[in-house]
Chains A and B, each alone.
Chain A
Amino acid sequence: MPGPGSATLAGAARDAVASSCTEVREATDLDQVGGVVPALVARPASTEEVGEVMRAAAGHRLSVVPRGAGTKLSWGLPPRSADLVVDLSALDRVLEHAAGDLIVATQAGAPLRTVQQTLAGAGQRLALDETVAGATVGGTLAANTSGPHRLAGGTARDLLIGITVVRADGVVAKAGGRVVKNVAGYDLGKLMIGSLGTLAVVTEALFRLHPLPETQRWVTVRVDDPAEAYRLVQSVVHAQAVPSAVEVDWPAHGDGAVSVLLEGRADGVAGRVRTVSGLLGGTSSEDEGPPAGWASYPWAEGQTGLKLTFVLSGLGDVLTAARAAGAHLRGSAGSGVLYASVAEPDRAPAALESLRAACAGHDGSVVVVEAPPEVRLAVDVWGPVPALDLMRRVKDRFDPEHRLSPGRFVGGI
C-alpha cells in the first residue's frame, strides 16, 4: 500500500525539518510504517533536538510517527499519513542507575537489553520482559508490552515513575519524578503507556527496579484438558508459593503445558518448587532454564497475532475456544493475558470473532497485534472500546491537528 510519500512533501517543509536536526535523510521502503512509506527520517540526538524537529513538523503540519528500534511499527493500524519518522535510536543512553534508590533513568531509544545489562551489574533488574528482540524502552512503553514477569512485577504502568515527552507542538514536558512514591500532579506516564505514539514523543523514562533473584526454577506439567489446566493454574495462584510467573502454552493441536517460575533465595525456591510440584502432580518436571517459547509471542511472520485478556476464571473457556478456532495460545495464565496465533489468514476473522466472544464473556477483550494486510482490512483490529469519546477528547487536547501517528490507535485516533 503506497502512502503519501516524498512527492507530496513541499520543499519548505523539507528544509524546515532539515534545519531542525543534524541527521535528516530521505526515507526508503525500509522505513515504512504498516505499509506507509514516509518522506523523511529525522534522527535527533537529544530531547531538545526532538523538540526542534517537532516544532518544524508543527510549522508545516507534517504527520509524525515516532520510532525506537522499529520492531513493533506494524502493530495497531497503519497510519493515515506519515510525512516524517522521528527515529529515537540516537537517544540510547542509560542516564543514571541509582542502585541504592532502586531506580534507573534512561533515554527512550535505549535498548531494553542494554538497560538490563547495566542493572544486572549491580544485582538489579527492570521487571519487564523483552518480548520482542531488540525492543527499546520507548517502544516498550508505547506498545505496553509485557511478559511472564507481569504476574509478580506488574507491567510498565506499575514500574514507570517519571517521564519526559515532547508534544506535537514541540513543547517539552515532564511528569512524575525520580522517587517511587510521588502523588504530585497528574500521572501523564500512564497516558503515554500503550498510546502507540499518538499523544506525544517519549524521550526519557524513569523506572523503579527490583533485585535480581539468586535462583530461578521452572516447574512444568503437560496437560491436554482446558478444565484441568484451569484447575492447576487456580491451585498455584491460590497457594502461597509466590510464583513470579504462571504461564500456559496451548498449541492448536496436541498437549499443552502449564509452567510456573519461582524466584528468590536458593533454599526458599527449593521449598516452593516442592509445593508447586505437589500441586501440578507427579508428571511435572523441574528445570533450571525456561521452557521453549518463554517470554515470546506464539506467532510467526505472516501469521495473525492476537492479544487476549480475561478474568482468571475465564481461562478454561478461552482455552476451549482457541482449540475450536485453530489458534495457538501462549502467555500469562496467572494474570489473564494470553497471546494467540492463527496460521491461516482465511481462518483469522472467524477465530477473532469466537475468541472475542469468549473473552468478552469474562470481562476482557481481544485486539489484533500483528496481521497480514488482507486480514487487517477484513477485521475490527481494536474491537469495542468503552470511553472512546473521552479518549478522543484527550487526543484532541494533546494533538489537535491529529498529526501524531494518525489512525494507528483505537477509534481511528
Chain B
Amino acid sequence: MSDPADNPADNPADKPAEGLAAVARRARELIPEPGVISDHQRLRTYECDGLAHYRVTPGLVVIPEDVAQLAAVVQACAEHGVPFVARGSGTGLSGGALPHADGVLVVTSRMRAIREVRPEDQRAVVEPGVINLDVTRAATPHGYYYAPDPSSQQICSIGGNVAENSGGAHCLKYGFTTNHVLAAELVTPQGEVVRLGSAAPDAPGYDLLGAVIGSEGTLGIVTAVTVRLVRLPEEVRTLLVGFESTDQAGAATSAIIAAGIVPAAIEMMDALAIEAAEAAVQCGYPEGAGAVLVIELDGAAVEVGQEYDEVDRLCRENGAFGQRLATDPAERALIWKGRKSAFAAVGRISPDYIVQDGVIPRTALPEVLRAIADLSGTSGVRVANVFHAGDGNLHPLVLFDDSVEGAGEAAEKVSGAILDLCIEHGGSITGEHGVGVDKAKYMPRMYDDDDLDTMQLVRCAFDPDNISNPGKVFPTPRLCGEVPGRRQGVHPLQDAGLAEVF
C-alpha cells in the first residue's frame, strides 16, 4: 500500500501530492478500508471509462457508503484545492469519468439503495449507484417503469445517467433523463449538501436541477435522485422491417412522422451493421436487406392496432420486405437484441472501431447518409451505421485495424468529418454520449466564444475553483474571478455547517 504522500518521489509536483495526501488521510478517517484505494496497481483498474483509448491513473479512489462520507471527501478536496471526478458504473462513451492524475475519483457504486417506490405518486427515490434497469424492475410489479433506457441499461448507473442526461431508444416519445428527474440531492464542489427540485412538479426558484442534469459531473455530485415513474403501456408492438436501401428506410420514417404517428422508437441499421449483428447474436434480420427499421408502437391497445396498420402500409409503400411483428416480450427481446448489441457486434467484423454520436435534423438523413458513404468510399474506411432514425441521432461505427499503420488516424479523420457533417446540417456533436474529454475540442464548432463563456458562468457559480471534473466539456476553462458585490470569504466547511444544510 503506497499513499502518494509516503512516496513523494512518485510525484514530482510536491504541492498536488500534499493536497492529495491530506484528502487521503481524511478519507481513511471517514471510510472503512476497502473504500479508499491508493495502491498503484489497484488504482489502474479505474484508469478509463467506456471510452478506453483515454487512460489516466487516478491519484486516489474513494468509494463512499453514504452522502456524509462523500460530502466530507469533497469538502476535503475543496479545502486543499484537489480536483475530483465522479464515476458511476464507468460505462460512459466520451471519457466523462476519465480520472485526474492528481485528483480523487469518487466512485458511487456502493450507494445502491432504491429508497422508495411510490406508485401512487409515480415517483421513486434512488441512490446514484443504482443500475438503470433495476429502477424499472422495482417499479414493474406496481405497473410502472423508468422510461430512459440507454443501451447499457443493464449496467449503467442512475448517477451517470443524470451526469450525461442519458437518452436511449425510446426518447423519441418519452424524452431523456432530464424529463424524468424531479429532484436530486447534490454535493456541491464546496462539499455542501443541497436539495434541488422537489418530488412535486415546478419547484420555485431557478431550475438548477435542469442545469445540473447533463453537466457531466462539472457542477457537483448527485447523491440521491427522485425519478418519475411512467405507467406501463397497455400494448406494445415491435416491428422489424427490411428495406433494400437506407434511402427507402429513411423515406418510410419520414412518412410515419408525417402521418402524425409518434412511435416509442424508430431505429435504423444499415447493411454492414446488420451483418455484424447477425454474426454476433443471430437475430434473424431479413436476408439481403440494405437497411432495417425497428419500430416500436406503444399505448392504448385500440390505437396501437390502428397505428400498426398505418405503419405497415407506409413501410410497404416505401419498398419494405420481410416484415416481422412481435407482440410478446420474448419476440420483442429478439428483435431488440440485434439493435442493442450492435456496438459490441461490430467487434466481430473489425478488430477496432470508433463509436460516433452525432445528431442531424431527421429530414437531412438521406443527404447525410450519402455524404458518409462518400467519405467512406474516398478514404477506404468502412462505416457501419446504427441510429435512432426518429430523432436523427446517428451512431456511425468507424471500423479500423489498429495494427495497420495509419489506420487509426484515418478512422479518426472520418469520424471527425462525420461530426462536421452534423454541424453543417444544423445538428449536434453529441445526442447522448456527452462531450466529456473526447469532444471538448469540437465545442467551438457548435458554439461561439460568447456561448461558451455564458455556459461557464454557470460553472463559475457552482465551482469557481474549477475542481469538479476539470478539463471536461469545455475546451478552455473560464477564469471565474470574484463577483462584484458578492460576499467574500470561504464557505463553512465545518461539520456544523454541513449538519445545518442537512
Binding site for B on A (CB under 8 A): 98-103, 123, 144, 146, 150, 154-155, 157-158, 165, 167, 171-175, 177-191, 193-195, 199, 210-212, 214, 234, 237-238, 240-242, 264-265, 267-268, 271-272, 307, 309-314, 335-337, 359, 362-365, 367, 382-383, 385-391, 393-398, 400-402, 409-411
Residues of chain B lying within 8 A (CB to CB) of residue A103:
361
In the complex, the answer to whether B198 meets A179 with C-beta atoms within 8 Å is no
Residues of chain A lying within 8 A (CB to CB) of residue B269:
none
Residues of chain A lying within 8 A (CB to CB) of residue B157:
none
In the complex, the answer to whether B195 meets A387 with C-beta atoms within 8 Å is yes
The distance from the CB of B71 to the nearest CB of chain A, in whole angstroms, is 15
> Is there a chain A Cβ closer than 8 Å to B393's Cβ?
yes
In the complex, the answer to whether B452 meets A185 with C-beta atoms within 8 Å is yes
User: Could you list some 17 contacts between A and B, CB below 8 A?
Assistant: A101-B362, A177-B446, A179-B428, A181-B167, A181-B432, A182-B428, A184-B435, A264-B303, A271-B301, A309-B201, A311-B199, A337-B200, A386-B195, A390-B194, A390-B461, A397-B458, A409-B205
Residues of chain B lying within 8 A (CB to CB) of residue A237:
122, 231
Q: Chain B: which residue is nearest A264 at the CB level?
A: B303
In the complex, the answer to whether A191 meets B427 with C-beta atoms within 8 Å is no
In the complex, identify which listed stretch (B54-62, B209-217, B378-386) lies at the interface while the others stay far away: B209-217
Interface centre among B119, B303, B430, B435 (most CB of A within 10 A): B303
In the complex, the answer to whether A394 meets B143 with C-beta atoms within 8 Å is no
Interface centre among B176, B210, B254, B483 (most CB of A within 10 A): B210
A401 to B485, CA, bound (A): 7
Residues of chain A lying within 8 A (CB to CB) of residue B306:
265, 267-268
The distance from the CB of B164 to the nearest CB of chain A, in whole angstroms, is 7
Which 9 residue pairs of A and B lie closest in terms of their CB atoms, listed nearest first? A190-B210, A364-B200, A268-B303, A211-B260, A173-B454, A240-B234, A363-B199, A182-B428, A309-B200
Q: Chain B: which residue is nearest A398 at the CB level?
A: B457
In the complex, the answer to whether B462 meets A393 with C-beta atoms within 8 Å is yes
Chain B residues 217 to 266 lying within 8 A of chain A, measured CB to CB, are: 231-234, 254, 257-258, 260-262
A174-B451 contact in complex given A101-B362, A393-B461, C-beta closer than 8 Å: yes
In the complex, the answer to whether A179 meets B391 with C-beta atoms within 8 Å is yes
Residues of chain B lying within 8 A (CB to CB) of residue A314:
200
In the complex, the answer to whether A182 meets B359 with C-beta atoms within 8 Å is yes
In the complex, the answer to whether B204 meets A123 with C-beta atoms within 8 Å is no
In the complex, the answer to whether A181 meets B454 with C-beta atoms within 8 Å is no
9 other A-B residue contacts (CB within 8 Å) besides A179-B391, A364-B199, A365-B200: A101-B361, A171-B450, A190-B207, A193-B210, A238-B143, A242-B300, A386-B196, A387-B205, A387-B208
In the complex, the answer to whether B198 meets A309 with C-beta atoms within 8 Å is yes
Residues of chain A lying within 8 A (CB to CB) of residue B213:
187
The distance from the CB of B98 to the nearest CB of chain A, in whole angstroms, is 17
A410 interface neighbour in B121, B204, B257, Cβ under 8 Å: B204
In the complex, the answer to whether B202 meets A155 with C-beta atoms within 8 Å is yes
Residues of chain A lying within 8 A (CB to CB) of residue B457:
394, 397-398
The distance from the CB of B500 to the nearest CB of chain A, in whole angstroms, is 11
A396 interface neighbour in B203, B254, B483, Cβ under 8 Å: B483
The distance from the CB of B470 to the nearest CB of chain A, in whole angstroms, is 15
A388-B426 contact in complex given A183-B431, A185-B455, A238-B143, C-beta closer than 8 Å: no
The distance from the CB of A381 to the nearest CB of chain B, in whole angstroms, is 10
B206 interface neighbour in A101, A187, A194, Cβ under 8 Å: A194
In the complex, the answer to whether B427 meets A177 with C-beta atoms within 8 Å is yes
In the complex, the answer to whether A365 meets B118 with C-beta atoms within 8 Å is no
Chain B residues 105 to 136 lying within 8 A of chain A, measured CB to CB, are: 118-123
A-B pair count, CB < 8 Å, reads 283
Q: Chain B: which residue is nearest A211 at the CB level?
A: B260
In the complex, the answer to whether B434 meets A183 with C-beta atoms within 8 Å is yes
A271-B427 contact in complex given A179-B359, A396-B485, C-beta closer than 8 Å: no
A24 to B200, CA, bound (A): 43
Interface centre among B121, B192, B388 (most CB of A within 10 A): B121
Residues of chain B lying within 8 A (CB to CB) of residue A183:
164-165, 167, 176, 214, 428, 430-435
A365 to B214, CA, bound (A): 26
In the complex, the answer to whether B198 meets A363 with C-beta atoms within 8 Å is yes
A337-B202 contact in complex given A240-B232, A240-B234, C-beta closer than 8 Å: yes
In the complex, the answer to whether B454 meets A188 with C-beta atoms within 8 Å is yes
A367 to B257, CA, bound (A): 40
In the complex, the answer to whether A268 meets B300 with C-beta atoms within 8 Å is yes
Interface string of B274-292 (1 = CB under 8 A from A): 0000000000000000000
In the complex, the answer to whether B461 meets A397 with C-beta atoms within 8 Å is yes
A265 to B308, CA, bound (A): 13
A188 to B363, CA, bound (A): 26
Residues of chain A lying within 8 A (CB to CB) of residue B461:
390, 393-394, 396-397
A234 to B171, CA, bound (A): 26
In the complex, the answer to whether B202 meets A144 with C-beta atoms within 8 Å is yes
Interface string of B442-478 (1 = CB under 8 A from A): 0100110011111101111110000000000100000
The distance from the CB of B107 to the nearest CB of chain A, in whole angstroms, is 22
Residues of chain B lying within 8 A (CB to CB) of residue A101:
361-363, 392
> Is there a chain A Cβ closer than 8 Å to B439's Cβ?
yes
Residues of chain B lying within 8 A (CB to CB) of residue A189:
210
A239 to B176, CA, bound (A): 24
Residues of chain A lying within 8 A (CB to CB) of residue B415:
none
In the complex, the answer to whether A387 meets B458 with C-beta atoms within 8 Å is no
Residues of chain B lying within 8 A (CB to CB) of residue A238:
119, 143, 231
B203 interface neighbour in A155, A193, A365, Cβ under 8 Å: A365
Interface centre among A165, A184, A189 (most CB of B within 10 A): A184
In the complex, the answer to whether B201 meets A336 with C-beta atoms within 8 Å is yes
In the complex, the answer to whether A193 meets B207 with C-beta atoms within 8 Å is yes
Residues of chain B lying within 8 A (CB to CB) of residue A214:
260
A313 to B121, CA, bound (A): 6
> Is there a chain A Cβ closer than 8 Å to B175's Cβ?
yes
Residues of chain B lying within 8 A (CB to CB) of residue A271:
300-302
Residues of chain B lying within 8 A (CB to CB) of residue A234:
120
Residues of chain A lying within 8 A (CB to CB) of residue B447:
174-175, 184-185
Q: Chain B: which residue is nearest A363 at the CB level?
A: B199
A311-B426 contact in complex given A181-B392, A391-B206, C-beta closer than 8 Å: no
B455 interface neighbour in A146, A186, A359, A365, Cβ under 8 Å: A186
